[in-house]
Amino acid sequence: MVSACPFFENQYSIKMPTIDYKKLSVPYQTSVQKVEMGLWEKLYYPEVTRGLLITSGHFVRNMMIHAAHMFGLAKNQRGAVTYQYPEERRPIHRRLRGRHRLTKKPDGSERCTACLLCETVCPTHCIYIVPEEHPDPTVEKHPRQYEIDILRCCFCGYCVEACPCDAIRMDTQVQELSNWDRTRMVYNKEYLMRDVAGPGAPPKDDPPIWWLK
Amino acid sequence: MNTNTEEKTFTRVAEVIEEDVPVEEMFLNLGPSHPSMHGIVRIMVRLSGERIVWSDVEIGYLHRAFEKSVENCTWNTAIVYTDRLNYVSPIINNVGYCMAVEKLLGITVPERGEYARTALSEISRIADHLTAVGAAAMEVGAFTAFLYTMKAREWLYELIEAACGARVTTNFARIGGICADLPYDFMDMCALRLPEVEKVVVELDKLLTRNRIFIDRMQGVGSVDAEHAVAFGFTGPLLRASGVPYDVRRVTPYSVYDRMEFTVPVGTTGDCFDRYLVRLEEMRQSLLIVDQCLKQIPAGPVCVDDPRISLPKKQDVYTNIEGLMNQFKLVMHNHGIQPPPGEVYVSVEGGNGELGFYIVSDGKDRPYKCRCRPPCFPLVQAIPYMIQDHMVADVVPVFGSLNMIGGELDR
Ligand code: SF4
Ligand code: SF4
C-alpha cells in the first residue's frame, strides 16, 4: 500500500470521526418556520401591498431627506445609500491599504535601505529593487531603482509588514489606479516618493498602521 | 413536488403532447457567461419541450491552481491565495487555513485573537448569506430585495475594511493570530451598523417569505432528501435545509464557538425555499454571535508571542538587533515558519458549508501539499439530480440557492 504522506511512518494518521447523520443532533437545534400556502398567501394582494409599503416607505423617506438637503436641513442624515462617486467619495477607513509610498528621511532622501525584505516576501513578485552603495559612507545601502508593478500587486500589505525600517507604507488611500499604458503602471522610486496631495494625503507623522499590532 | 392544481393540469397537457407528437429534444447551453450563472460555469441541458431530461455541469473556468500555487509560496504568503477561494467571505478561508497550520505547529491563539476571528468570520458569513439570498431573489424577479441586501453587505464590508484594511482581499488572519488588533473605532462602527443590518434582514423576511410569487418559484423546486444530500456530500445550509443538523461550529466546535449561544436552524424538505429560510435564520444567529463576541472580547495580545512564528513588534524591529534578526529570519526564504513534518485536516464552517484544509508539511518553509475541500463542489455535482424533470426556468432558482462561488469551486 502506498503511504499517504511520505514523511510519515503510519499511514493516514488522521482519524476522521464517523457521524451517523440519522442520529446526529446538536445542541440548540431548531426547525425553520414552516411556510404553507394558506389563504393569506393565495390571496396574493395583501402580501404585495405589504411589500409595496416597505419599498415606498424607503422611497418617501429618502425623498424627504433629499428634499431637506436641498434646503440645507438634516445634513447629518443620509438619504439614499449611494454615493455620487467622482464628486462625492465614500469615507475610507484609515487602515485601508491604498497605493504604496516610500517614506523619506528628514533630509528628503529615501528611508529604504535596500534590504530586499519586501521583494522577498511579496507573493506576486511585483517589487524590483536594484541596491547600490550610498555615496555617504555612514549609510550602507540605498536602492538605485525601486519599482512596483502595481498591475501585479495584490495589495496584501506584506511589504509594509516586512519592512524593518518603516520605509514603505500603504497609507496614501489612493485607490484610483488607472492609466492608458501598461508601462506607466510600473511605479518608480521618484513616483512612489512623491508627496500625495488631495483627499488621499496621509496624515503627517502618522505611525504605520501595523504598529497597532 | 408542488401539488397545486395548475401544475397538475400542465403536466397532463405535457404528457398528452409528448405521447401524441414526437417532440424533438433540444440541447441548450446555460452559460458559461450568463448573468444567472454566478461566476463562470456551464450547465448543459437537454430539453423535451420545456422539461429537462438530461443535464450536466462543466466547471473549471476559474481554475487558478490554488493547491499548486500554495506549494510554491511560504506558509504565510499562502494566506493571500486563500482570500481568493470564497471571495464573498474571505475571512473564513483565512481563518481555516491558519487554524490548520496552527494545529500543525501545536500552538494556541490568544483569546482576543480568537474572538476577533470569530466576530469577523460571522460578519463575513452574514455577507455571504446576504449575497446568496439577494441574488437568488433577484433572479426570480425580486430586484428590490437584491438592492437591500447589497446595501447591508456594503455596511458589513465597511466593518471588514476597518478591521483588515481591504474589503474583499482581506488577508486578515496570520499564523498564530491576526494581522493587527481591531481598530479603536470598531466597536462603535459595529454598534452603528449591525442593528441596521438586522433591520434589512427583517425587511427581507417581510418582502419575501410570504410572497406568493417567491413561494411559487422556490417551494418544491430542487429538493434533495437527507439521504441523497449526505450521499452527495452536502454540508452547510443546504444539508441543514434537508434536515440534517450538521454544523461544524456545533459538531466539532473550534475557536470560541463552544462559548457562544446560537441555534442551528434545520429545514425539512430541502427545497430552495427551505434553503432560503435556513440562510435567513442563520443570518440572525450570526448577528447574535457577533454581539456576544464583541461583548466578551477580552483585552490582550492578538497574536502569539513567539519569534519563530509571528513577526516581532515593530518597536523591537526598529530599535534592537534581536527584533531585526527575528524579522529577517521570518521573511527570508528557507528560514520562515517551519512546522514539523506531519499532516493535518482542519475544517471550519464556511459560508456554504464545511471548508476543510488538508495540509502536509515536510518540515520546510513551504507547504508540501495543501488540499482544500471546497464546500461548493459537492453542491454543484448535484445540480443534474436537482434539476432533473424540472422546467428550464427552475434551473435559475436552484442554481441561485446553491450559492456557487467560482473561486472556491474551481480553486
Ligand atoms: S502589497 Fe503585497 S503584492 Fe503589493 S507590493 Fe506589497 S507585498 Fe507585493
Ligand atoms: S523592506 Fe523596506 S527597507 Fe527593505 S527594501 Fe523594502 S522598502 Fe526598502
Q: What's B149-217 look like in SS3?
A: HHHHHHHHHHHHHHHHCCCCCCCCEECCEECCCCCCCHHHHHHHHHHHHHHHHHHHHHHHCCCHHHHHH
User: Using a 6 Å cutoff on CB, does residue A153 contact ligand 2?
Assistant: no
Instruction: Report which residue type is found at B56.
Output: D
Cell of A53: 409599503
**Grid cell 397532463 in the structure block, residue:** B12
User: How much is the pLDDT for A3?
Assistant: 45
CA distances from B395 to A185, B145, B218, B271, B272 (A): 43, 20, 11, 13, 11
Give the up-direction half-sphere exposure of residue B407: CA atoms within 13 A in the CB hemisphere.
13
Instruction: Report which residue type is found at A128.
Output: Y
B161 vs A47, A96, A156: nearest CB = A96
Instruction: Report which residue type is found at B366.
Output: R
Q: Residue A110 C-alpha to ligand 2 middle, in angstroms?
A: 10
Cell of B170: 482581506
Residue B15 has pLDDT above 70, yes or no: no
User: How much is the pLDDT for B126?
Assistant: 92
3-state helix, strand, coil in chain B (%, to 5): 50, 10, 35
Distance from CA of B225 to the nearest CA of A (A): 12
Answer whether B342 sits within 8 Å of A17, measured CB to CB.
Answer: no
Going through chain A in order, the beta strands assigned E by DSSP cover 29-31, 101-102, 127-133, 141-149, 168-169, 186-187
Residue B285 has pLDDT above 60, yes or no: yes
Cell of A31: 426547525
- The mean per-residue pLDDT over the stretch A19-26 comes to 71
For residue B22, cis peptide bond before it (omega within 30 degrees of 0): no
Q: Are strands B354-361 and A101-102 parallel, antiparallel or unpaired?
A: unpaired
pLDDT digits (tens, 9 = 90+) for B360-392: 888 888 888 888 988 888 888 888 888 888 888
The structure's pTM equals 0.85
Residues with Cβ < 8 Å from B26, sequence gap 6 or more? B46, B47, B48
Residues with Cβ < 8 Å from A1, sequence gap 6 or more? A11
Could you give phi then psi for residue B115, rounded to 5 degrees? -65, -40
Q: Give the mutation target among A119, A124, A170 for probing the ligand 1 site: most ligand atoms within 8 A of CB.
A: A124
Would you kindly state where each structural domain of chain A is located, as residue ranges? 39-70, 101-212
A96 neighbourhood in chain B, CB within 8 Å:
161, 165-166
Residue A173 has pLDDT above 80, yes or no: no
Residue B182 has pLDDT above 70, yes or no: yes
Out of A163-167, B26-30, B35-39, B327-331, least confident range: B35-39
Tell me which residue has its CA closest to atom 2 in ligand 2: A163
Residue A10 has pLDDT above 70, yes or no: no
Q: Residue A181 C-alpha to ligand 2 middle, in angstroms?
A: 27
- What is the position in ligand 1's atom list of the atom closest to the CA of A162? 7
User: Using a 6 Å cutoff on CB, does residue A167 contact ligand 2?
Assistant: yes
Answer whether B303 sits within 8 Å of A213, measured CB to CB.
Answer: yes
Q: Confirm or reject contact between A33 and chain B (CB < 8 A).
A: yes
A51 vs B80, B207, B314: nearest CB = B207
3-state class (DSSP) for residue B148: helix
Tell me which residue has its CA closest to atom 4 in ligand 1: A153
The count of CB pairs under 8 A between chains A and B is: 186
Distance from CA of A73 to the nearest CA of B (A): 22
CATH of domain A101-212: 3.30.70.3270
Distance from CA of B219 to the nearest CA of A (A): 9
Cell of B29: 447551453
CA–CA distance, A55 with B204 (Å, rounded to integer): 11
Could you give phi then psi for residue A145, rounded to 5 degrees? -130, 135
Ligand 1: lining residues by beta carbon, under 6 Å: A 121-124, 126-127, 148, 153-159
Give the up-direction half-sphere exposure of residue A13: CA atoms within 13 A in the CB hemisphere.
15
pLDDT digits (tens, 9 = 90+) for A81-111: 888 888 888 888 777 888 888 888 878 788 8
| Closest-approach residue (CA) in chain B for A90 | B158
Answer whether B210 sits within 8 Å of A27, measured CB to CB.
Answer: no
Out of A33-42, B124-133, B225-234, B295-304, least confident range: A33-42
Name the most confidently modeled range: A2-6, B38-42, B293-297, B339-343: B293-297
* B355, B340 contact by CB (below 8 A): no
Query: B57 has which bridge partners?
Result: B43
User: Using a 6 Å cutoff on CB, does residue A129 contact ligand 2?
Assistant: yes
Indicate left, alpha or beta for A83 from its phi (over 0: left) and psi (-120 to 50: alpha): beta
Q: What is the mean pLDDT of chain A?
A: 78
Q: Give the mutation target among A118, A125, A193 for probing the ligand 2 site: most ligand atoms within 8 A of CB.
A: A118
CA–CA distance, A196 with A111 (Å, rounded to integer): 17
Answer whether A117 sits within 8 Å of B210, measured CB to CB.
Answer: no
User: Using a 6 Å cutoff on CB, does residue A193 contact ligand 2?
Assistant: no
Q: Confirm or reject contact between A44 and chain B (CB < 8 A).
A: yes
Could you give phi then psi for residue B348, rounded to 5 degrees? -125, 165
Judged by CB atoms within 8 Å, which residues 94-153 of A form the interface with B? 95-97, 115, 117, 120-121, 123
Distance from CA of residue B188 to its chain's centroid? 27
CA–CA distance, B5 with B7 (Å, rounded to integer): 5
3-state class (DSSP) for residue B333: coil
Q: Are strands B177-178 and B264-266 parallel, antiparallel or unpaired?
A: unpaired
CA distances from A38 to A33, A136, B94 (A): 14, 85, 45
Q: What is the DSSP letter of A125?
A: -
Answer whether B324 sits within 8 Å of A27, measured CB to CB.
Answer: no
Q: What percent of chain B has pLDDT over 70?
A: 94
CA distances from B150 to A60, B48, B127, B155, B157 (A): 20, 37, 9, 9, 10
User: How much is the pLDDT for B16?
Assistant: 52
Out of A136-140, B32-36, B168-172, B235-239, least confident range: B32-36
Answer whether A164 sits within 8 Å of B273, measured CB to CB.
Answer: no
Query: Residue A202 — pLDDT band, cuts 50, 70, 90?
Result: low
CA–CA distance, B367 with B39 (Å, rounded to integer): 29
* A107, B63 contact by CB (below 8 A): no
pLDDT digits (tens, 9 = 90+) for B243-282: 888 888 888 888 888 888 888 888 888 888 888 888 988 9
User: How much is the pLDDT for B212?
Assistant: 82
Distance from CA of B29 to the nearest CA of A (A): 34
Count of residues making up chain B: 411
- The mean per-residue pLDDT over the stretch B322-343 comes to 86
User: In which order are the strands placed within the sheet that holds A186-187?
Assistant: A127-133, A141-149, A186-187
Cα radius of gyration (chain A): 29
pLDDT digits (tens, 9 = 90+) for B121-141: 999 999 999 999 998 888 888
Cα radius of gyration (chain B): 23
Instruction: Report which residue type is found at A27.
Output: P
Cell of B226: 437527507
User: Using a 6 Å cutoff on CB, does residue A115 contact ligand 2?
Assistant: yes
Q: Confirm or reject contact between A83 and chain B (CB < 8 A).
A: no
B180 neighbourhood in chain A, CB within 8 Å:
95, 209-210, 212-213
Residues with Cβ < 8 Å from B141, sequence gap 6 or more? B213, B217
Distance from CA of A71 to the nearest CA of B (A): 26
The Cβ of residue B252 has, within 10 Å, a number of other Cβ atoms equal to 16
pLDDT digits (tens, 9 = 90+) for B54-113: 888 888 888 888 888 898 888 888 899 998 888 888 999 999 999 999 988 889 899 999
Top-confidence residue, B106 or A31: B106
Sign of CA dihedral B202, B208, B209, B212: positive
- The mean per-residue pLDDT over the stretch B173-200 comes to 87
CA–CA distance, B187 with B119 (Å, rounded to integer): 11
Could you give phi then psi for residue A196, rounded to 5 degrees? -90, 125
A54 neighbourhood in chain B, CB within 8 Å:
203, 206-207
